[in-house]
Amino acid sequence: MMDAAFKRRAFLVCLALVAGLSALSVRLIALQVWDRKLSDTSPVPRFKSHVVIPARRGFIVDRNRTVIAQNRPEATLVADLNHLNTESILHRAVAHFYASQEAGWRNLNEAEKNVLLGKARKWVKKNLSKEEVIEKHLDYACEIIGRELQMESEAIRGKFKDGVTRIEIQKRIREGVARRIENELQERRIQGFSFERYQRRVYPMPTLASHLIGIRGYNKDDELVGLSGLEKSMDGILSGRDGRRVLKRDENGLVNLTESAEMLPARMGKHVKVTFDMGIQAIVEEELGMAFEAFNAKHGSIIVVDPHTGDILAMASRPDFNLNLRESYADAVNYAVSAQYESGSVMKIVPMAATLDLRKATRETVVDCGWGGIDRYGFRIRDHHRYGELSFDEVLVKSSNTGVFQFADMVGRGPYYQYLRDFGFGRPTGFPIPGEASGVIQNETNMRNFASATYGYGVSVTPLQLAMAYSVLANGGKLMKPRLVDSIIADNGAVLDQTPVHQVREVVSPRTAKEMCLALEQVVLKGTGRRARVPGYRAGGKTGTAEKWDSKNKCYNEYEKILTFAGILPVHDPKFVCIVTIDEPSGLGEDFQIGGGTIAAPVFSQVAGRVARYMNLAPTEEISDEISSIILNQNE
């Protein structure tokens, strides 16, 4: 009985010993064969083995798929002093330096080179001190890197300082150059250098639509993200997913820069197609730039919109900046979207359209403008000129404040403010760019405010709101939501998502819209907008001259003005609406009559004429030989 029990216990003990020794044997084999670098007694540091493969950001393209924003793969070459000061991993590179100096080296085959490298390595270990190995390795590395980067090796050596473990050798290295350097370093067994790759955003036309496109940069959490414009609002669409690769090591644990043990490919972001046309954008930028300088303005903007779809065809603001250089980015203002101000007489379309829409008057209705002023509701409304009886069209042509108020009074205060909101004022348009202002409608219960609001004071608006309001008249009476993003596109060109054309509401009847366009044509033919005429085309529009409020002195400043022209072309079949705004022109001399008709209207004329020709719109009027010659010279 005891013999059987003893045998059983002995068997179990032997089994445990065998299992334990077997496990130890497996571990020893793993250390000696499968992972020799871990059993090496030399102090080989653990080199970073995971490398990020940056995702390619999606492109931004215009309505014709012209590329506006794209990527350039670049890299930063960095050195790790922990490795550069570790003698045990530097012998092979130093041996390569000496072996490659031997005559006939280039003609040797791989096996012959390895034999020579083995001999050179033994000589290095025997004859060079640790300090000499480190110095020779660094000299060799700087020579190879300097040759590829076209830098003096001494300049590279000068970047190495005591107490620093990570050194940036060079930034913004093109991918092709980075790969050549990697191959050169790998071939020569040079250790301690690696590349940090990234996709640099570049803009082929960096001065066009800079406010709309926006920039990328690092946020407070040190993450590279979109900071403004479409780069910010569409960041989640444009961004892809980074990949990664695990660097391959040789049997000695040395890193192979050019081969991967594992790889997760990066996933590219989606492309964004926008509604604006870079051809029209170029026209707008050029004309605004010239006006901005000629009038020495503080701010300015031009918007061109398709009234039927709400598509933004062009939008420019000043001051602007260069997307690639960004020196003046901090001073740039997206004036077309973020500025809100009292715009003056361009707002007169609201009460006049409301009067026609409610059938309170016709274009033949006449009012007495009071020869300079009228008294209503206990206060006096003053006009900028002395006018007597004027018809509906003449009130717009002359831009009479007293005349406009009388038509608005026919509508009534409550209905008027409802029309003001229906035209899109007092709330954001839903524009997909950060920083849009909403505008302000002041106290609606105050009759004095009501009077001021009818001719453009007491209501703060944005240029974009004006563009959409004038589009109501140009498209037959509908308020459209502005469209900037047309669609999201996959890398293979397939459309993944389309932004629908969105009608917010019907504001006025088609009859009213048409009558208003014809009335606005009279403003260009006979009134304050005569300088907005476009040779060959029937244009309509309205001027605006607004003094700025001086909050310190509690009054309007006659020397600080915002000038506007809001135009439609052609009025009988509108193809686009254009809003020109010039903020605080200066230095024009005491005799210069500063107004929307003298400053903003001529800019509209230039822009609208060039855009009409760019769009190949058929002329609606004959052009004189003199005007034809001027147009040809402009095109040249």
Which amino acid makes up residue 269?
Answer: G
What's the confidence (pLDDT) of residue 250? Answer: 56
CA–CA separation, 517 and 473 (whole Å) = 7
Both tokens assigned to 230: 């479409």
Instruction: Please tell me the total number of residues recorded for the chain in this structure.
Output: 636
Q: Report how far residue 306's alpha carbon sits from residue 548's, in angstroms, rounded to the nearest whole number.
A: 30
Query: In this predicted structure, what is the pLDDT of residue 40?
Result: 41
CATH number corresponding to 50-274 = 3.90.1310.10
Phi, psi of 619 (to 5 degrees): -60, 145
pLDDT at site 260: 57
Q: Do residues 305 and 482 touch, judged by C-beta distance below 8 A?
A: yes
Tokens, residue 85: 């000061």
Reply yes or no: is the peptide bond before residue 319 cis, omega within 30 of 0.
Answer: yes
Would you say the C-alpha torsion 334, 336, 342, 343 has a positive or negative sign? Answer: positive
Contact indicator for 353, 368 with CB cutoff of 8 Å: no
537 touches 609 (CB < 8 A): yes
Whole-number Å distance between alpha carbons of 521 and 512: 14
3-state helix/strand/coil string of 234-255: CHHHHCCECEEEEEEECCCCCE
* β 243-249/216-218 pair status: unpaired
Distance CA 573, CA 474 (A): 8
* pLDDT mean by block of 10 residues, the chain; 636 residues: 60 63 59 45 50 84 96 90 83 90 88 90 92 92 93 90 83 92 90 87 95 90 87 92 69 57 77 97 97 95 98 97 90 94 96 97 96 93 93 96 96 96 96 93 91 94 98 98 96 93 97 97 96 96 94 89 97 97 90 92 97 94 57 45
Cis peptide before 265 (omega within 30 of 0): no
Tell me the CA end-to-end span of the chain in Å, nearest whole number.
117
What CA–CA distance (Å, rounded) separates 636 from 542? 30
Helix (H, G, I), strand (E, B) or coil at 159: coil
C-alpha 107/C-alpha 560 separation (Å) is 80
Neighbouring residues of 160: CB distance < 8 A, sequence distance ≥ 6? 79, 81, 84, 138, 167
Q: How far apart are CA 245 and CA 340, in angstroms?
A: 51
Which amino acid belongs to residue 144? I
With a CB cutoff of 8 Å and minimum separation 6, the contacts of 170 are 76, 77, 149, 151
Three-class DSSP labels, 327-345: CCHHHCCCHHHHCCEECHH
Read off the tokens for 321: 């900046």
> Do the two domains 50-274 and 278-635 of this chain adopt the same fold?
no
Per the structure block, which two tokens stand in for 323? 């997307």
Closest CA to 503 of 478, 485, 469: 478
What is the rounded CA–CA span in Å between residue 274 and residue 62?
A: 5
The rounded Cα 501 to chain-centroid distance in angstroms is 22
- Say how far apart CA 609 and CA 535 lie, in whole Å: 7
Regarding pTM above 0.85, the answer is: no
Question: Any idea where the domains of the chain sit in the sequence?
Answer: 50-274, 278-635
Burial 423-441 (b: 16+ CB within 10 A, else e): bbbbeebebbbbebbebeb
What is the SS3 assignment for 425-463?
CCCCCCCCCCCCCCCEECCCCCHHHHHHHHCCCCEEECH
Which CATH number is 278-635's, of 2.50.20.20, 3.30.830.10, 3.40.50.261, 3.40.710.10?
3.40.710.10
Measure the CA dihedral 87/93/94/95, to 10°: 120
